[in-house]
Amino acid sequence: MDYVLVNNIVTDNQWQRIKAESPDQQPNVISLVSAPIIGKYFGESDVNGVNVLDRLTHRKYHLGSYRFFNDVPVPTWDKIFVNRDGSISIYHHGSEIGKEFLYPNTRRAAQDVRYTNPDGTLDYIEEYAYDGTIFSNLFYAENEMLEMVFYDQQYRPVVRYYLYQGVINLITVEDPVTHKIKQRYNTLNEFYNAQVRSIVSEKDKVIINYMGVELMVLNGTKSHNVLRLVESPLDDQKNIRGNLRDILTDVISSIQTVEVNRADYDIIKGFDVPLDKIKLIKK
């Protein structure tokens, strides 16, 4: 099977490009970042989309469903009020305790609720998936995020990210019924890598466009991995990018093929690097 591996999908234009460049009419896409909006894209009928976190929580998306902004869980007797500027506030005995945000380009679909402490600092955020189910809770102390909890569709915690000074330093995967920890990881890259290796096999091909986290998580995979270069092959100092050099010299052996257009090929061949992995494509 041919997969396209992406870190995240953030715009409609990006999604259309991913589908247009996919080797299959029905694209097989693996995404890494946990994103409530991913259901907008992976919910399409002609897409086989796999998010590594949703795969653990067994989340399925249903296009056409959403959570009405007035249907978010709030404390008893609290009021949800639409302000004149279009923002949405949550009031408790006359005091604003939080704000609600909608998905872009929608008038009623709840995206998240952000509760604050009396001093105005963030307390926690509750996020809703694109189809309206509760997706996650993000917990804060003194405006610093400490923990992210991701739920299955029965609102049971499955995956937890723990943070220290803004950096994820522990990830746990638990049984949603017994809460027994089944897996733990020390870094996000370690977590991503383990999940991708559990998805792809030696019979698969994986295409990436960028030499960032997507490149790192392919380490140790048995699939045939392809870098379809969309970035300039040169860095800001007009030298060949370090990761690209390492790929071509096989210091990074997890990429077996580098697809480039003619213009980028002409640039690369001007440097002292092997060209064995390069394949010319039309763009």
Local structure of 183: helix, strand or coil: strand
Residue 77: pLDDT band (50, 70, 90) is: confident
Structure token pair of residue 184: 């733990």
- Residue 283 and residue 151: Cα distance in Å, rounded? 41
**Count of Cβ atoms closer than 10 Å to residue 262 Cβ:** 11
Q: Of 27, 32, 30, give the one whose Cα is nearest residue 7.
A: 32
- Residue 28 and residue 3: Cα distance in Å, rounded? 5
Residue 283: per-residue pLDDT: 65
Residue 6, pLDDT > 90, answer yes
Helices (H) and strands (E) in the chain, counts: 7, 17
Which residues are bridge partners to 173 per DSSP?
159, 183
Phi, psi for residue 36 in degrees, rounded to 5: -60, -30
Which tens digits make up the pLDDT trace of 44-75? Answer: 877 888 999 999 999 988 778 899 999 998 88
- Residue 10 and residue 36: Cα distance in Å, rounded? 11
